[in-house]
Amino acid sequence: MSSECVEQATFDLLRTLTDYRFDGIAYCFMPDHFHGLFDAKEPDCDFAKFACMFKQRTVFAHKRRTGRKLWQEGYFDRILRREEATLDVVAYILENPVRAGLCTDPRQYPFVGSSVYSVDELFESVSGRSRP
């Protein structure tokens, strides 16, 4: 995934988060996939509609620019039920580039972010946790 592609996808993600009333707690764009932890701002938020619109927006922009497919069909989601699980998932998302061999320190990877926290705050929240 090129820097230009990630920049456009981040723009589409942030716009879709706002439109569908979700917070992006943490996200990471990888060369061949995407990880995100999202929190609904209201009880009636619809994650399936959010995910569909995010994919639609990013696919349209990418296909128009490159003529190529961007995402695989569908997505995997799960609901976190324990508060402490949130930091485990944030750590997993931030460490994904290290596990993939893209960097040795997750702070080196430029394609992580949050709509709620600064990148430094994300890393601070998981500091001291063992790497998955």
> pLDDT digit string (tens) for 52-76?
999 989 988 888 888 887 877 777 7
Q: Please, what are the domains in the chain?
A: 3-126 (3.30.70.1290)
Phi then psi for residue 18, to 5 deg, are -65, -50
User: What length does the chain have?
Assistant: 132
CA angle 113, 114, 119 (to 5 degrees): 55
d(CA 97, CA 111): 9
On whether the CB atoms of residues 31 and 83 are closer than 8 A, the answer is no
- pTM of the entire predicted model: 0.87
Alpha helical stretches, state H, 20-82: 47-66
- Whether residue 22 has pLDDT greater than 80: yes
- Whether residue 132 has pLDDT greater than 50: no
Q: Partners of 100 in the beta sheet?
A: none
Mean pLDDT of 40-54: 94
Mean pLDDT of 90-108: 94
Q: Please, which pLDDT band fits residue 129 given cuts at 50, 70 and 90?
A: low
Q: Identify the pLDDT of residue 49.
A: 96
